[in-house]
Every structure is written in structure tokens, then in C-alpha cells.
A and B are shown apart, each in its own frame.
Chain A
Amino acid sequence: MTLSATLDSRSQGQEQAPLLQVTDLVKHFPVGGGLLRKESPPVRAVDGVSFSLGRGETLGLVGESGSGKSTLGRLVLRLLDPTAGSVVFDGQDITTSRQSQVKPLRRRMQLIFQDPVSSFNPRMTIEELLLEPMVVHGIGTPTERKRRCVELLDQVGLASSALAKYPHQFSGGQAQRIGIARALTTDPELLVCDEAVSALDVSIQAQVLNLLKSIQQEQGISFLFIAHDLNVVRYISDRVCVMYLGKLAEVGGSDQIMAEPRHPYTQALIRSIPAVTASSSRVERIPLQGEIPNPSRPPAGCTFHTRCPLRFDACDQDVPTLHERDGSLVACHLYRPEASA
């Protein structure tokens, strides 16, 4: 299997072109700068990431804060301009197109935020919020739009009495339902969920996960699901990408990656999750040492080598690339073809 074939979605079959194809995407944020100020080295938020996302597929994206996963989500939606690389959405390269050309695509891809309330203009009612995307894209007549609002609320499990209220009058879970409803107004094909359930309580989180899943099943939407909770990501995703310092560490099927993590970082992540088990089965965890380094000064070689319990000589010199290993893609020198050979 070729590298690109593995990166591609599998659930949808090889012959169909993926909805989203990301190739060597790079985003550097300048630090400082200005008329009289020296520029520091840029923050390498995303540093050469490639993946694809098939129609109706859910791709999970996990990593610690500072790994660049949110930036990646925004690059995909062209809310940020990439430094290099390309994002092809349904055959159209959106990295270089002008904003006017991107606008029609906006109705086909939407974003769900971690904190729904702050993603709503506090001065708009729920109705105004839900109407907004339709108005912007000129969808439907006023009556149709209004009807659609009620439908959407119903779909996410809220009464139409919510229409006249303001965002702050809702609890976190309700607000996230509204966020989802808003994202659905334009019948998108791609939803980027940026930590969409992270801030929710467990009982509500489960509700929202179920809602997202049912929507996907009904409408065949593709999800790019960004989160830091591996259990949540595993549950909702078909495939999972593990990110570390702007690069992909490992890509694989979600069950596979949880059961047999290859990359030492993935292993450490999984080990770090406290398990809900009885006191008798408690195990003392040996936590991963240190914290994620400053992305403006990433370590040389494998960026994980500073914390890696398995590091060896090559790690601080050579940058590992993604290699296929037993159906997963791993960027680690341990799994270099020659090493395994």
C-alpha cells in the first residue's frame, strides 16, 4: 500500500475522491514584529501535515494543547491562510482562492466551537443566529427560513420557544445543541468540531455525541473531530490522527490506535487517561515527563525526543517521517523500514 493510499479514507472505498485532501500544510505565526521591533522566530503551529477525509467519514484529531490541532481545523476551513501546502475541498484548491471564491464553499463546511455561548453574538436572539447563515448565503424565502429554524431546533432537541431567547439564557449543553443547529442550517458536507464536547459535563457530553452521530448518519456529513479526550475521539471517529508540535505522530483506525498504539507519544497519551476502575485494580501510572515544548523553538530531530522514554541516538538528529506499520502510519524512528527489517 502506498503512503497516500493509507492516508486516504478507507471506509468509503478507494475509487471515490475524498471530500477533503490536505497536503503538506504549514502554518507559521509571526511573533512580535512591527515598525521598530525585532521579529522572533515564528510559532510553527502546523508544520507539514497531510491527510484526507472521505465523505461521511469522521477523522479524529487529538493532541495536547499547543499541538496545533485547532489551527489545523481553521486552516481546513480557510479561516486562516496557510503558509504553505494545500487544502483541496471537493476537488477545489481553497488555499489560494480569494475570499470571494471561498464564500460559496462556506455553506458546505461549518465549524462547531468548544464554547458555544461565546461563539454567538450576545446581542442576537437564537432566531437571528439561526437565520444568519441562510441570510448570508441567500438561502430560501423568509418564511422558509423561519420554518427551517424550527425544524433545526427540533432536530437538535429544543423547543421552538427557544427562538426568542438570547444565548446566555441556555445551559452549556443546550447552547451546544444550538451551535450544532446553526452549523446545520446550510446543509454542510463538512463539519469541523473543535473540542465541541470538551467543556460539557459527562451526561451532556454523551447526549451531544449521540446527536452528532445521528446527524452524520442521517446526512452523510464528514466530521473533522478535534478533541483531547482519546476515549471520546475513539468513540466517534473512524480514524484518528495524533498530533504533536504541529506534526502528525500517528494515524490509524480508531480502535486500532487505542488497542495497539505504536508511537511512544500515543502510548503515553493513552496511559495518561485515568481509568474508571475499582480500587483493587488501580495501577500506579508512570506519567510522561515534561511538558510540550515551545512551538516557536521546537526540538531538533524528532520533536518528541525530549520527553520520549524510548529515545535513542537518531531521535535528536533526524526528523522522522510517517511510515506505514501494520495498517497505521507512524512517525517514529523505532518503526523505520530499515529498523523493522
Chain B
Amino acid sequence: MIGYAIRRTLYGLLVLFLITTFVFVVLRLIPGDVVRLQLADAPGVTQAQVDALAAELGLDQPVFTQFWSFISGAVTGDLGTSFETRLPVTEMIVERLPATLELGLLAIMFSVVLGVPLGIISAIRHNSFLDQSLRLVSVAGISVPNFWLALLLITYLSIWFGWSQPLVYAAPWENLGTNLAIMAIPALALGTSAMAAVSRMLRSSMLEVTQSNFVRTVRSRGAPERLVILKHAGRNSILPVFTLLGLQFGNILGGTVILESIFSIPGMGSLIFTSVQMRDYPVVLGCVIFYGAVFIFVNLLVDLVYAVIDPRIRYS
């Protein structure tokens, strides 16, 4: 088990390195000169000033040197300094991280809390009218773009009910009520498609499991349906859902980029967006690496949870 975890971690680090390389290269290829952009407000700058700024930002070094110094910094947790704010990227990320994580987790929670029962009901009432309607609803959930859902909610909640989210983001430990009032709608918009995916996946894996031999065995023991569904079928069919959630987490993290901006949530998603626009390489790089690390970590976690639930994996 520990060997498995270590092996997975090493693979994760390898992927992280690949991500870094990929993003680094792409960022350097993207047109748009960060130095010129920064000096856009200073008319009549001289070449000397341009060079000085480039040197200050470390952009005068060969790309390989820049890459190497970034990597060696990253290993020690130093992701460099933002071109824009001149703040350490690590610090900026740490400041922005909680909001994004919370949003992501809320969306996942929403998708699980709603998706799991829907999936189970659908599977139990397989092919019934209820099943068909729930399937239609969940497929519809995937079919509406989340940004669109978000905008509709914002606009019509305020027009019809005079409701709008609280103005200022508050971390959950600052003011839980405000925090949830802000997070509710984006989490809903973000979690809808994951919810649909969860219920679909659970439905199909549940259908498969309930037709398996061991469920028949459990039934032959005279176990009540509740026990059959929750203990045996449930645990067995939730396994692929975990994998799904791990992958969905990537989508949800991606989704924060748009939704955080729409909902004024100071998280990493909105940070990435501006930073790409502003060619703030260190921040983009830092954020993407961080997203990648979170994604890899979550999926590692999923695999470990999987191994905890499924003894067959634990010992292989």
C-alpha cells in the first residue's frame, strides 16, 4: 500500500514536471510582450528602461536558464515573483487557494449529495418512468453550459426575487453565512454537470453490480433490499464514481476560472485568467502547476481511497 502510494506520487511528480515544461514553453511562445505591456502606461520610455525592466523580471536570461532557475526554485516551494504585483507567487496562491478549493469542494459535495441518490433511485427503478425522468433531468444538467446557468441565475434571481449574492467575499471562517450565500450559486452552476455525471455513472455501475453473482448471493441470504443496495451494491458501485469524481475535479477546477470571475470570488481561477491576459508568466506557471498538483493529488487520493475500499487493490 505504501509502496503503491510512493509509486503513484513519483508518477505524479513526473507529470507535474511535464506540465511545468509544457506551460513554460507555451507561455514563452505566446505573442504579447510583457515588458512592453508593463510600460504601456509610461509614454516615451527608452530602450534602456525596457532593458532594465526585462532584466528586473529576469527575462534577459536564456529561456533554459529561466526554466532551470524556476524549477530549482519550485522544488523549494518558491514559485517566483509576480511580474505584476511583485509579490511572491506562492503567497498569492496561498491567499487565493481557499476560495477555489472551497468552491470546488462545494461543487463536488453538491454533485455527490444530489447525484448519488438520483443515481441509486434511477438504478433501483430501472426503466421506470421515474428513472426515465431522472435521466432526462441529469442529462439536461450536462447540456446547459455552466457559465450560462450562472448568468441566468444571477440575472433572474435579482429580477424576480430581488436577491443577489452578498457583495463581499468572506472566507468560511470569517462569516460562514455570507460565504455560503456567495458560494451557493457558483457551486450549483459548477456542480450541476458533475452531479449529472455522478448520477449517470452510479446508475450504470449500480445496474451492473445488482446483476452480479455476489448480489444474488446476498439476496439468497434473505438480506433486506436496503442492505443489498446500500452495503453491497452501493459500496461496489461507488468505486467507479470515485474515479469519476477525481477526474471531475479537474473539470471543476477549470470551471472556477469562469465562474470565479462572474461571481467575484477571489480565487485562483480568476487569478489565472488575468495572469494569462497580462502575460504574468510566473503566476500562470505557479497556478497551473498548483492546479496540476491539486488534480494529481486528488486523483492520488481517489486511488488510495479506492484501495482502502477495495481490498483487491490494496494487496496487489
Contacts and interface: CB of A to CB of B under 8 A. Distances in A.
B45 interface: no
Interface in B1-18: 3, 6-7, 10-11
- In this complex, the member of B6, B7, B10, B11 whose beta carbon has the largest number of chain A beta carbons within 10 angstroms is B7
A38 B6 CA distance: 13
A37 B3 CA distance: 8
Contacts of B10: 36
Contacts of B11: 36
Interface string A17-42: 00000000000000000001110000
Using C-beta atoms within 8 Å of the partner chain, give the interface range for chain B.
under 10
A161 B300 CA distance: 55
Contacts of A38: 3
Contacts of B7: 36-37
A15 to B, nearest CB: 54
Interface string B1-38: 00100110011000000000000000000000000000
A36 B6 CA distance: 9
A38 B3 CA distance: 10
B18 to A, nearest CB: 15
Contacts of A36: 6-7, 10-11
Nearest to A37: B7
Contacts of A37: 3, 7
A21 to B, nearest CB: 39
B160 to A, nearest CB: 55
A316 B56 CA distance: 77
Interface in A131-188: none
A36 B10 CA distance: 9
A39 to B, nearest CB: 13
A117 to B, nearest CB: 20
Nearest to A32: B316
A304 to B, nearest CB: 28
Nearest to A36: B7
Nearest to A34: B7
B66 to A, nearest CB: 30
A37 B10 CA distance: 12
A37 B6 CA distance: 10
Interface in A236-255: none
B126 to A, nearest CB: 24
Interface string B30-56: 000000000000000000000000000
A36 B5 CA distance: 11
A122 B6 CA distance: 41
Nearest to B316: A32
A43 to B, nearest CB: 15
B15 to A, nearest CB: 13
B198 to A, nearest CB: 32
A111 B140 CA distance: 51
A181 to B, nearest CB: 34
A42 B24 CA distance: 43
Contacts of B6: 36
A99 B6 CA distance: 39
A225 B10 CA distance: 48
Nearest to B8: A36
A38 B11 CA distance: 15
A287 B3 CA distance: 41
A37 B4 CA distance: 9
A227 to B, nearest CB: 26
Interface in A22-74: 36-38
A36 B3 CA distance: 9
A296 to B, nearest CB: 14
A36 B4 CA distance: 9
Interface in A88-126: none
B147 to A, nearest CB: 41
A309 to B, nearest CB: 33
Contacts of B3: 37-38
Interface in B168-184: none
Interface string B130-170: 00000000000000000000000000000000000000000
B30 to A, nearest CB: 33
B305 to A, nearest CB: 21
A297 to B, nearest CB: 16
Interface string A243-278: 000000000000000000000000000000000000
A72 to B, nearest CB: 27
A36 B11 CA distance: 9
B311 to A, nearest CB: 18
A36 B7 CA distance: 6
Interface in B268-301: none
A303 B11 CA distance: 40
A125 B42 CA distance: 76
A34 to B, nearest CB: 9
A118 to B, nearest CB: 19
A339 to B, nearest CB: 43
A267 B11 CA distance: 52
A325 B308 CA distance: 55
B296 to A, nearest CB: 16
B294 to A, nearest CB: 23
A192 to B, nearest CB: 31
A135 to B, nearest CB: 38
A36 B12 CA distance: 13
7 closest A-B pairs by beta carbon, nearest first, are: A36-B7, A36-B10, A37-B7, A36-B11, A38-B3, A37-B3, A36-B6
7 contacts: A36-B6, A36-B7, A36-B10, A36-B11, A37-B3, A37-B7, A38-B3
